[in-house]
Amino acid sequence: MPRPRALLLSPEAPYPLWGGGALRTASVLRYLAGRYALDVVLFREPGAGDPAAALPEGLAERTQVIGLPFHARTLPARLRRNAFRLLRGVPPLWDRFSGFDRDVSGCVQGCRYEVAVIEHLWCAHYERVLRPVAGRVVLNLHNIESALHRRFGTAEGGATRWAHERFARAYERIEREWLPRFDLVLAASETDALGLPGCHAAVYPNTLPHHPRPPRAGEGAAVVFSGNMEYHPNVQAVRWFAREIWPRVRRAVPGAEWVLVGKNEHMVRDLVRGVQGVRCTGMVEDAVAELARAHVAVVPLLSGSGTRLKILEAWAAGTPVVSTRLGAEGLGEPDELPVSLADKPDEFSAKVVRLLQNPGEASELGTAGRRRFERSFTWESAWKVLAGVGL
């Protein structure tokens, strides 16, 4: 008897597993591949590698790729594009992934699916293309885009605040229009789910593949921040940490090193130029192993949405975490989290220094984080949610 068919459509490549977006998409893809004959439709930026070739063999029966048109990534070009989007009231990623209805329709022509999953709000408008060929259409939200833009703008202030508030309002309209059309919307946390307008939502947490605990760092005082350095909240966090927190840490622990781990490191190099004790690794093959080489992981986020994979990776590594409260949002009750929380620069730096100078306390916090990861934040634990909602 043939297996039922499913479709996954994603604007981002799920493999390699670099970054929170890829990890969340890959977790859904792996689940679907274990239960359905799976087709995958992916978008590709010009010049990028073939995302179909990066998928592990045997996961998808058929993978099709839609090429995005070229656009320049220089700062002047981006400013021009976003100025035009502001005038139109159309958010950047919604605009980037619009207009491919005919391509998507061609990918699914003649097919019939029991379920179709769309990744990211940016592609929600393809519900109208997939609805005729799918029994259920599900949207997997990685963030609440309206909240993400509003928080980022508020933290930045000035003209940036005005621009992101305009995009936030546009996303609110999009969320009100499109979310109720889906049979199910997956949110990353209870906090996110509570803010969704008029839709059937379930909490599907961000998780990681189970990862054996790697060897911990030896002597030294390494502080790590990980993530895609092109992501605006990460750039904002690096700037704040470099200006307000890292100098205090270095005064207290002169030999400390701050390691920035993640792709697109060129986006933050100017922010840390001339700052003592900073090293950028760029993209690494195994983020968990890299975080295990550090003594403290920091999450100085001032904006964002969803939940932060960088904390889950630090927990998997057994590395103690110091985070803002917003950075740890959605992972549980603040008083119960194995995270040291601080929102002010002096408080944040003091907690980093305390963990660097007290290895026993740092080890205890890191071990508690590892236990939390193993109990609640592996792919296998999250897949129970998808089974529970009938996917």
Work out the average pLDDT over 57-67: 96
pLDDT computed for residue 2 by the predictor: 81
Q: How far apart are CA 113 and CA 118, in angstroms?
A: 13
Number of neighbouring beta carbons within 10 Å of residue 80 = 12
The strand pair at 201-203 and 222-226 is best described as unpaired
Cβ-Cβ contacts under 8 Å for 247 (sequence gap 6 or more): none
Pick the CATH number of 222-376 from 3.40.50.720, 1.10.3720.10, 3.40.50.2000, 3.40.1710.10: 3.40.50.2000
pLDDT tens digits for range 34-55? 999 999 999 999 998 999 999 9
Q: Compute the mean pLDDT over every residue in the chain, rounded to the nearest whole number.
A: 95
User: Given this model, what pLDDT does residue 195 score?
Assistant: 81
For the chain, give the percent of residues with pLDDT over 70.
100
Q: What's the CA gap between 291 and 58, in Å, rounded?
A: 30
Q: Over the stretch 162-188, which tens digit does the pLDDT of each residue have?
A: 999 999 999 999 999 999 999 999 999
Predicted confidence band of residue 229 (pLDDT cuts 50, 70, 90): very high
For position 216, what pLDDT does the model report? 84
Tell me if 373 sits within 8 A of 312, measured CB to CB: yes
What per-residue confidence (pLDDT) applies to 18? 85
For residues 78-85, average pLDDT:
92
Q: What's the predicted TM-score (pTM) here? A: 0.93
pLDDT tens per residue across span 230-269: 999 999 999 999 999 999 999 999 999 999 999 999 999 9
Q: In DSSP terms, which residues pair with 64 in a beta bridge?
A: 41
Q: For the chain, which residues make up each domain, given as ranges? A: 5-204, 222-376
Whole-Å CA distances, 124 to 93, 181, 186:
11, 9, 13
C-alpha of 29 from chain center: 16
| Per-residue pLDDT reduced to its tens digit, 69-79 | 998 888 899 88
Measure the CA–CA gap between 302 and 240, rounded to whole angstroms.
Answer: 9
User: Under CATH, domain 5-204 is a member of which superfamily?
Assistant: Glycogen Phosphorylase B; (3.40.50.2000)
Residue closest to 202 by CA, chosen among 339, 388, 5: 388
Q: What is the pLDDT of residue 307?
A: 85
pLDDT score recorded for residue 362: 97
Q: Quick check: do 5-204 and 222-376 share a fold?
A: yes
How much is the pLDDT for 197? 87
Tell me the β-bridge partners of 42. Answer: 10, 65
Confidence check: pLDDT of 329 > 80? yes
Q: Report which residue type is found at 359.
A: P
Give yes or no for residue 352 having a pLDDT over 80.
Answer: yes
pLDDT confidence tier of residue 23, bands split at 50, 70 and 90: very high
Q: Return the pLDDT at 218.
A: 77
Q: What is the mean pLDDT of residues 313-319?
A: 97
